[in-house]
């Protein structure tokens, strides 16, 4: 990670790490990089999620881009993957999304995509960081960039792209949780247009309620809604709609590991699974290894983060990868995780199977697993100090030996928050929970 860029763009609490001054400098630096690279096209697309700080950051970012001679197309509120798709399709030099994804409203972030629709490389991010800290001057008045505002054309183009991936008619009832985020502006048109019965919750963003007890990070809201309304399936997105999780007809959560397994088997059977394998992460449930062996494909594990998943997909030639959190990458169709694209593809698989959701995902083995988070009051410095403590490393090794082939322990720092994530797999969920609590208590003592 660099001075400004983390594992997924530049993020921070607005008014602390991230403010209008920094957003201006980021915009000016992005325009400077395009100019230094000799880009003939200097048009940049910008979209945001609905959080309240989005307007301010969009204005500052736009001013910085224009001061560097870049033309800006403001698309308003759209999901993150929409910008990746539209930037690549329409030939823009760069796409930028103002969003903090699954975080609460006081956070925000800036994510950047190149003209190919992929997130910027480490080298490009390092170049922008250099330019952020430089004293670059504004271009001549005649060379200033201009601003255009979309009236809905780009949003409709993206919705049509998603709808084009629907190949099976689903006859059931669907509950959809938009997390009071970006999906609220696209999901209704998309899913009602596909012709099945659906109802929406958390689809009235007010700038403050994004990810607030709703969406893919708070599945209990959708679980209750599905059970009380007797829906066949429930879909949950996060704030910028790049994540997607499912609730089955019984009210149980279907996480990204189970979704990845279902997609992998289906694509394998259809002869569409390139690389004869899929990419998950180090936190993917160990049941994935057994399922992959049973179905005849290889399961690869990357570090956590869609950037790392994508890198391993490129290395192995795989066209499918995903995370437990619900990021799913279908590389033949999209350059990044797309929650609504994943939802459409899941409906295809579900309809073709003729099964209920619980029957479909029940065929995927699951090892008892718990994944609590340890939130730190001392910020990222405290997080890093605990992770480097020899006592913690010794105890992890000790419990790995105790569990041997019956489970595992993984302790890792969050790349975006002052949080340490604990993963324990064991023969029973109770045993896993006991070990996880031991490590939480240990970290508190450290």
Structural domains in the chain plus CATH codes: 10-150 (3.40.120.10), 157-252 (3.40.120.10), 254-336 (3.40.120.10), 369-445 (3.30.310.50)
Cα–Cα distance measured from residue 435 to residue 446, given in angstroms and rounded to the nearest whole number: 17
> What sign does the CA torsion over 297, 302, 307, 311 have?
negative
Contact between 326 and 259 (Cβ < 8 Å) = yes
Cα angle 210, 416, 1 (rounded to 5 degrees) comes to 145
Most distant pair of Cα atoms in the chain: their distance: 70
Task: Indicate whether this model's pTM tops 0.75.
Answer: yes
Cα angle 348, 154, 82 (rounded to 5 degrees) comes to 50
Percent of the chain scored above 70 by pLDDT? 98
Contact between 75 and 148 (Cβ < 8 Å) = no
Identify the segments of the chain with pLDDT beneath 70. Answer: 1, 37-41, 416
Cα–Cα distance measured from residue 165 to residue 85, given in angstroms and rounded to the nearest whole number: 14
Token pair 């993917």 is found at: 284
Element (H, E) at 139: none
Q: Give residue 437's pLDDT.
A: 95
SS3 category, 151 = coil
Alpha-helical runs (H) found in 117-210: 122-132, 153-163, 187-193
Active site includes 358?
Answer: no
Beta-strand pair 173-177/233-237: parallel
Q: Give residue 320's pLDDT.
A: 98
With CA atoms as reference, report the closest residue to 338 among 50, 73, 47, 85.
85
- The strand pairing partners of 71, in sequence order, are 43
Buried b (16+ CB within 10 A) or exposed e, 309-327: bbebbeebebbbbbbbbbb
Q: Residue 365 burial (CB < 10 Å; 0-12/13-18/19+)?
A: middle
Cα–Cα distance measured from residue 337 to residue 346, given in angstroms and rounded to the nearest whole number: 14
Q: Which of 67, 99, 101, 414 is catalytic?
A: 101
Element (H, E) at 28: helix 20-36
SS3 category, 10 = strand
| Inter-CA distances, 278 with 117, 150, 301, 339, 373, Å | 21, 37, 9, 18, 27
Beta-strand pair 197-201/173-177: parallel
Q: Give residue 39's pLDDT.
A: 57
- 68 CA to centre of own chain: 30
First to last CA, the chain: 25
């Amino acid at each position: 990670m660099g001075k400004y860029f983390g594992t997924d763009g530049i993020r921070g609490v607005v008014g602390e790490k991230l403010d209008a001054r920094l957003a201006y400098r980021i915009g000016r630096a992005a325009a400077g990089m395009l100019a230094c690279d000799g880009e003939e096209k200097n048009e940049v697309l910008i979209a945001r999620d609905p959080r309240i700080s989005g307007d301010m950051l969009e204005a500052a970012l736009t001013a910085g881009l224009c001061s560097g001679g870049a033309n800006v197309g403001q698309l308003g509120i759209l999901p993150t993957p929409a910008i990746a798709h539209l930037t690549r399709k329409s030939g823009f030099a760069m796409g930028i999304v103002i969003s903090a994804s699954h975080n609460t409203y006081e956070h925000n972030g800036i994510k950047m995509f190149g003209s190919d629709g992929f997130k910027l490389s480490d080298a490009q991010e390092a170049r922008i960081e250099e330019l952020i800290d430089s004293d670059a001057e504004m271009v001549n008045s005649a060379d200033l960039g201009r601003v255009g505002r979309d009236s809905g054309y780009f949003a409709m183009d993206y919705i049509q792209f998603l709808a084009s991936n629907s190949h099976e008619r689903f006859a059931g009832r669907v509950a959809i949780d938009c997390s009071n985020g970006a999906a609220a502006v696209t999901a209704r048109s998309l899913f009602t247009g596909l012709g099945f019965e659906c109802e929406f919750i958390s689809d009235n963003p007010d700038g403050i309620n994004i990810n607030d007890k709703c969406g893919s990070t708070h599945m209990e809201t959708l679980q209750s809604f599905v059970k009380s309304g007797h829906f066949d399936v429930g879909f949950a997105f996060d704030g910028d709609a790049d994540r997607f999780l499912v609730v089955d007809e019984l009210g149980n959560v279907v996480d990204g590991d189970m979704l990845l397994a279902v997609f992998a088997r289906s694509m394998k059977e259809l002869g569409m699974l390139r690389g004869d394998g899929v990419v998950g992460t180090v936190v993917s449930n160990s049941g994935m290894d057994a399922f992959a062996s049973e179905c005849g494909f290889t399961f690869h594990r990357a570090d956590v983060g869609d950037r790392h998943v994508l890198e391993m997909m490129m290395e192995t030639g795989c066209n499918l990868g995903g995370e437990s959190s619900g990021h799913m990458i279908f590389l033949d169709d999209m350059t990044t995780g797309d929650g609504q694209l994943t939802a459409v593809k899941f409906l295809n698989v579900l309809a073709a199977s003729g099964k209920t959701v619980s029957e479909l995902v029940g065929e995927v083995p699951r090892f008892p697993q718990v994944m609590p988070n340890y939130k730190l009051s001392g910020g990222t410095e405290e997080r890093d100090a605990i992770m480097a403590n020899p006592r913690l490393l010794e105890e992890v090794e000790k419990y790995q030996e105790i569990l041997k082939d019956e489970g595992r322990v993984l302790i890792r720092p969050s790349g975006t928050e002052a949080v340490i994530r604990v993963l324990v797999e064991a023969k029973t969920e109770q045993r896993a929970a006991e070990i996880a609590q031991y490590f939480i208590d240990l970290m508190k003592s450290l």
